[in-house]
Amino acid sequence: MLLLSIGFADESSNINDKFNELCTYLRNNEINIAMVENDIAEYHYIKLLLKDSEKDIKNFDNYRDLFLSYATDIIYEYISKNYEMKILEKLIRQNYGYFSPEEMEDIKQKCGSYIMGTGILPVNDVITSMKHRNEIYKKIEDYLQESNEIIIDGFVKFRLKNLEDDISEILDRMIEEYMVEREYDEFIKLLRYFVEIQESKYDVLNIYINQNGDYTLKDGNSLNITRELFADFEVFNENNDTTVDDILLSIIVTCAPRQLIIHSVENCRNKEIIETIKNIFLERTIFCDTCEDCKIIRSGQIV
Ligand SMILES: [Zn+2]
């Protein structure tokens, strides 16, 4: 009895090994299943056959869902690698040929993470990436519920008609993100350079983050210099929508302290500013949560 027949073009893929593993698993669970392979025209076929005995059919029934979800997984992975990634490579070459080879590789990696669901993605991308993958997965699963014969080329052509448009959309979005990231990197590099060449106004600058998220700045002698430092930048605040975090960043970059100690960082309302500071000041940044002032902050008072 034919359980499933899969026709595909790329013989170099590991689809055979994957189906072999599935068969071994089922055989270990007393299901008489065999896998045969043959070539017809341009396609390589894998056929999974179940022994027609009443016992085997009954046994297999308990594993039908598992069988289908494994088969869906294997076919999904094949489509990702052999269609999605190839479409992606083609679109990058066609539309973004002006990037350097290294940049194109970076962009491919970034899109690859999105398409295959590997690597680290920003939160909003994680969700849309899951949605993208899930849609394809669901279509394969639905198809296998209805039919025990699939030719992957035809399936992609007729059931995943929008695949190229979807990949193109993903690519454009990832390019946008890539440009923003690159701009941020350049901004950080510039500030890092500025801090390096700038004469340090303070050997040590302490930034205390109170429980209400407000900042208190003190020099190495524990002298409160918050008012004095913020005063220089007050004019910014009146004229535009510069945030207190922007001002803080300007202050510490201008002061270029040799050492920057950030106290009670867990109270910070804006984690990005801390990341940015760390990226600019690198090993000059120290975090503290044990000093006397940190204890005062923890007790709910302002330092
Ligand atoms: Zn501290």
Residue range 88-117, pLDDT digits in tens = 999 999 999 999 999 999 999 999 999 998
Can you list the alpha helix ranges (DSSP code H) found in the chain? Answer: 15-28, 54-79, 85-95, 101-116, 123-146, 152-159, 163-197, 226-231, 234-239, 244-255, 271-281, 292-298
Q: Ligand 1 centre and the CA of 296: distance in Å?
A: 9
Q: What is the pLDDT of residues 160-212, one digit of tens each?
A: 999 999 999 999 999 999 999 999 999 999 999 999 999 999 999 999 999 99
Q: Ligand 1 centre and the CA of 262: distance in Å?
A: 7
Percent of the chain with pLDDT over 70: 98
Q: What is the pLDDT of residues 272-282, one digit of tens each?
A: 999 999 999 99
Contact call for residues 125 and 176 (beta carbons, < 8 A): no
Please tell me the distance from the alpha carbon of residue 9 to that of residue 12, in angstroms, as a whole number: 9
Q: What is the pLDDT of residues 62-94, one digit of tens each?
A: 999 999 999 999 999 999 999 999 999 999 999
Judged against a pLDDT cut of 90, whether residue 238 lies above it is answered with no
Phi–psi pair at 129, nearest 5 degrees:
-65, -40
Confidence of residue 239 (pLDDT cuts 50, 70, 90): low
Q: Is 264 left (phi over 0), alpha (psi -120 to 50) or beta?
A: left
Judged against a pLDDT cut of 70, whether residue 36 lies above it is answered with yes
pLDDT at residue number 161: 96
Q: Ligand 1 centre and the CA of 292: distance in Å?
A: 7
* Contact residues for 133 (Cβ-Cβ < 8 A; gap 6+): 76, 80, 115, 116, 117
Confidence of residue 120 (pLDDT cuts 50, 70, 90): confident
pLDDT at residue number 10: 85
pLDDT at residue number 236: 57
pLDDT at residue number 13: 82
Q: Ligand 1 centre and the CA of 285: distance in Å?
A: 13
Confidence of residue 11 (pLDDT cuts 50, 70, 90): confident
Q: Ligand 1 centre and the CA of 189: distance in Å?
A: 28
Strand partners, 285: 260
Q: Ligand 1 centre and the CA of 115: distance in Å?
A: 44
pLDDT at residue number 229: 92
Closest listed residue to residue 207, CA positions, set 267, 154, 157, 162:
267
Q: Ligand 1 centre and the CA of 282: distance in Å?
A: 19
Q: Ligand 1 centre and the CA of 107: distance in Å?
A: 41
